[in-house]
């Protein structure tokens, strides 16, 4: 395998490349939608998971925030302030437009940064750190990623995870949209993709290469536990939350498709 920066640089370039496609697919709609007082882009399970924590007055960070609509949703649920971080300047630009349209410029700051090289002044500043669907599979070094999360949290703070279930990455859909297990759950080399990241239109195009990684459930749990974090909540989800192998939710013998987790940083 290449070094960590090779993968993070390649993935940043691939996300910057697709940013204009995502903008044309949904930016105008989002700019209108976020003006509603009750706007919330989160799926019900994540809303319920976040509701297990007292959001009122909390400082929240979202790592790999994309266009920050999820972070905006958490602020609208009652959190005091938010910082969104993403490596792609293209998506941060879209996020700033969305935050401005919603009128939350004073409550949310968006930063362009490699997740493994965040500004030191962010350390220990947050009550809650959040990642949403798909983030972990982009991480070439999961233990180091958890160290970053842990460093951002105040003592007793919480890391909230919404993610594709690791089992789901065993599957791939064929040309007819039928998903079957093709990969080992224990796969230890990265996937290399050059057919694009258009998960809205599902349009393939010749793209810059991106790299994703299989992290088993024990990899995820032990990455937190090894830092002294406590697992406070886990929920497995039986329907699509990721626009990936969506047909599986209709199969009788379906695998788990998503997870929610809450880790607590030691005091």
DSSP type of residue 210: E
pLDDT in the model for residue 1: 63
Domains delineated in the chain = 4-264 (3.40.50.150)
Q: What is the pLDDT of residue 219?
A: 98
Q: What is the pLDDT of residues 46-93, one digit of tens each?
A: 999 999 999 999 999 999 999 999 999 999 999 999 999 999 999 999
**pLDDT tens per residue across span 200-259:** 666 787 889 999 999 999 999 999 999 999 999 999 999 999 999 999 999 999 999 999
Full strand arrangement of the beta sheet holding 153-164: 108-112, 81-86, 59-63, 126-131, 153-164, 258-264, 230-237
pLDDT digits (tens, 9 = 90+) for 101-119: 999 999 999 999 999 999 9
* Predicted pLDDT of residue 2: 80
Of 155, 165, 144, 133, which is closest to residue 237 (Cα–Cα)?
A: 165
Alpha helices by DSSP H, listed for 62-216, are 69-76, 89-102, 142-152
Q: Is residue 144 within 8 Å of residue 116, measured between CB atoms?
A: yes
């Amino acid at each position: 395998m290449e070094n960590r920066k090779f993968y993070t640089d390649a993935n940043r370039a691939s996300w910057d490349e697709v940013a204009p496609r995502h903008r044309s697919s949904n930016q105008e709609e989002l700019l209108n939608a976020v003006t509603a007082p009750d706007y919330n882009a989160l799926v019900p399970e994540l809303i319920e998971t976040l509701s297990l924590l007292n959001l009122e007055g909390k400082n929240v960070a979202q790592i790999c925030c994309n266009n920050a609509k999820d972070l905006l949703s958490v602020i609208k649920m009652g959190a005091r302030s938010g910082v969104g971080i993403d490596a792609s300047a293209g998506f941060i630009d879209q996020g700033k437009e969305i935050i401005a349209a919603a009128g939350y410029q004073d409550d949310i700051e968006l930063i362009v940064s490699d997740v493994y090289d965040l500004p030191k002044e962010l350390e220990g500043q947050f009550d809650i750190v959040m990642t949403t669907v798909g983030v972990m599979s982009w991480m070439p070094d999961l233990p180091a990623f958890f160290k970053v999360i842990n460093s951002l949290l105040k003592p007793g703070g919480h890391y909230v995870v919404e993610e594709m279930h690791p089992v789901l990455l065993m599957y791939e859909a064929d040309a007819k949209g039928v998903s079957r297990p093709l990969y080992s759950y224990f796969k230890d080399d990265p996937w290399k993709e050059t057919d694009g990241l258009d998960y809205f239109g599902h349009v393939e195009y010749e793209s810059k290469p991106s790299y994703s990684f299989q992290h088993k459930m024990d990899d995820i749990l032990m990455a937190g536990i090894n830092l002294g974090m406590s697992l406070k909540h886990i929920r497995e989800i039986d329907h699509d939350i990721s626009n990936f192998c969506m047909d599986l939710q209709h199969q009788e013998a379906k695998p788990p498709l998503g997870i929610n987790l809450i880790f607590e940083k030691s005091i």
